[in-house]
Amino acid sequence: MRRKIYDFHMHSFFSDGELLPDEIVRRAIVLGHAAIAITDHVDASNMEEVVSALVRASKHVAEYFPGFTLIPGVEITHAPPQSIPELAKAAKRQGARIVVVHGESPVEPVAPGTNEAACKCPEVDILAHPGMISEKAVIDAKANGTYLELSYRGGHCLGNGRVAKLALEHGASLIVDSDAHSIGDLMGEQEIKNVAIGAGLRPSEAEVVMYENPIRLMKRLGL
């Protein structure tokens, strides 16, 4: 029997994704997901509207897609590092169940210090595609319980090897996410495994990241 999979970083057309939440959910169910998070891009300008829309979507899914969980969330994106704690607290207060921070990827000009700020913030659950991460930030992520993402997305995935290596060295938790924006970005079980193994994980380590860490993260989120 196929094991359930999870994806905690996806985008709908409430930011720069192409799909409605219902279509993302339906496609995720077909691929074998038990739960996904839609974490649209936010800063101080649009957070309230995005969180409100995704909370409504999650309630709709709970009613009409029994047995499946849509987690409403945000990805705090290109925000000044010093603003991350305030924005993350506001997102949780407004109803976001999961907070992702857009990390310092090899292919985007994210402000230096973003990774460190996210890894110290108790309200931040996942640091997305943090390929330029420092050893200190990984140690902080371990202490804070922040999950470090191995990304399926082109460009962002270039830093996966570094993230995996440092996380394994220091005992930080890893998670594989799609960062999906369109149909072609959605992952099935094999794609998740490919990301984990491609980042340098042994098969036993990939099993933990694919199947055990998502359950632990769901418990952290109270789900």
Q: How far apart are CA 72 and CA 106, in angstroms?
A: 27
DSSP reduced 3-state for 79: coil
Secondary-structure class of domain 5-220 per CATH: alpha beta
Question: 37 near 71, Cβ under 8 Å?
Answer: yes
Task: Give the chain's radius of gyration (CA, Å).
Answer: 16
DSSP reduced 3-state for 102: strand
CB-CB neighbours of 82 under 10 Å: 10
> Parallel, antiparallel, or unpaired: how do β-strands 5-10 and 33-42 relate?
parallel
| Predicted TM-score (pTM) of this structure | 0.98
Tens place of pLDDT per residue across the chain (223 aa): 679 999 999 999 999 999 999 999 999 999 999 999 999 999 999 999 999 999 999 999 999 999 999 999 999 999 999 999 999 999 999 999 999 999 999 999 999 999 999 999 999 999 999 999 999 999 999 999 999 999 999 999 999 999 999 999 999 999 999 999 999 999 999 999 999 999 999 999 999 999 999 999 999 999 9
Domain layout of the chain by residue ranges = 5-220
Q: Which residue has the tokens 């999950």?
A: 147
For residue 58, the one-letter residue type is: S
